[in-house]
């Protein structure tokens, strides 16, 4: 019985941290641990962040993932974002927004849900298309209900939509991210002011204090 209560308590702690955008690493903070042990009933049952990730996090993830089955039958927008991790792997985040328009909420539902994070061997139109289709199918979303595919403005993303996704999602349109376009414009604009940029960088470095020196009394 105690083990079951501890299991549920740790799961609720993970959900609370995720909802408040608090990294699980904060669970290792000595002051927080002392507060939990002395002020919270059963607070001492919360282990360190490593044990939370290894033994409890995945079960919470599966429960939350199952809740997203509510997407079935809903009109949705699919959002993608690419990045790389500290090991140099290509990472593709696929998110969804429910397009729930009505008289009470004319601007729709602006909450984005992360469907999956895919680690790719390489990023091109083929790997991106395969990943998006697999994830959408895994959540039971009808291909006809995907109305928007939002991506950045890189060539392989536009190619993924024009060659594959526009066929698989017949009602879908591609919307490219404006921030990416603005970044390209600004980057090109900065080329004419290279000396000013270097001056600003040098001036900023005058006020830089290494962390070791900041730690000194």
Q: Say if 58 falls within a structural domain.
A: yes
91 and 150 fall within a common domain: yes
Q: What is the pLDDT of residues 8-55, one digit of tens each?
A: 889 999 999 998 999 999 999 999 999 988 988 888 889 999 999 999
Of 68, 86, 114, the one marking the end of a domain is 68
Share above pLDDT 90 across residues of the chain, in percent, rounded to a whole number: 48
Q: By CB neighbour count within 10 A (0-12 exposed, 13-18 middle, 19+ buried), where does 115 fall?
A: buried
State pTM to two decimals.
0.70
50 and 115 fall within a common domain: no
Q: Are strands 76-84 and 90-98 parallel, antiparallel or unpaired?
A: antiparallel
Domain count, the chain: 2
96 and 176 fall within a common domain: yes
82 and 167 fall within a common domain: yes
61 and 10 fall within a common domain: yes
pLDDT of residue 166: 96
Q: Say if 113 falls within a structural domain.
A: yes
3-state secondary structure of 199: helix
Task: Give the whole-angstrom CA distance, residue 211 versus residue 159.
Answer: 45
Which regions of 74-186 does DSSP assign to beta strands (E)? 76-84, 90-98, 112-120, 146-151, 173-176
pLDDT of residue 163: 95
Q: What is the pLDDT of residues 145-201, one digit of tens each?
A: 999 999 988 889 999 999 999 999 999 999 987 776 777 777 777 778 888 888 888
pLDDT of residue 180: 67
43 and 29 fall within a common domain: yes
Average per-residue pLDDT for the chain: 85
What is the domain extent for residue 55? 2-68
116 and 36 fall within a common domain: no
Q: How far is C-alpha 44 from the geometric centre of its chain's CA atoms?
A: 31
**How many other CB atoms are there within 10 angstroms of residue 149's CB atom?**
21
Q: Say if 189 falls within a structural domain.
A: no
Q: Say if 82 falls within a structural domain.
A: yes
Band (65; pLDDT cuts 50, 70, 90): confident
Task: Give the whole-angstrom CA distance, residue 41 versus residue 36.
Answer: 8
101 and 55 fall within a common domain: no
Q: Say if 209 falls within a structural domain.
A: no
Query: pLDDT at residue 108 above 60?
Result: no
* CATH value at residue 116: 3.30.420.10
52 and 112 fall within a common domain: no
């Amino acid at each position: 019985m105690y083990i079951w209560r501890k299991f549920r308590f740790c799961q609720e702690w993970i959900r609370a941290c995720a909802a408040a955008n608090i990294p699980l690493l904060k669970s290792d903070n000595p002051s927080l641990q002392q507060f939990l042990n002395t002020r919270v009933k059963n607070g001492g049952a919360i282990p360190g962040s490593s044990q939370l990730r290894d033994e409890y996090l995945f079960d919470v993830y599966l429960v939350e993932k199952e809740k997203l089955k509510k997407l079935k039958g809903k009109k949705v927008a699919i959002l993608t974002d690419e990045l790389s991790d500290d090991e140099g792997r290509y990472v593709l985040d696929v998110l969804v927004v429910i397009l729930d328009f009505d008289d009470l909420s004319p601007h729709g539902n602006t909450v984005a849900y992360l469907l999956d994070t895919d680690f790719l061997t390489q990023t091109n139109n083929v790997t991106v298309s395969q990943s998006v289709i697999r994830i959408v199918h895994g959540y039971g979303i009808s291909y006809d209900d995907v109305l928007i595919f939002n991506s950045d403005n890189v060539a392989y993303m536009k190619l993924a939509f024009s060659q594959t996704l526009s066929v698989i999602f017949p009602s879908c349109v591609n919307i490219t991210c404006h921030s990416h376009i603005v970044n390209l414009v600004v980057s090109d604009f900065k080329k004419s002011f290279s000396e000013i940029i270097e001056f600003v960088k040098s001036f900023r470095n005058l006020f830089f204090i290494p962390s070791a020196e900041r730690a000194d009394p």
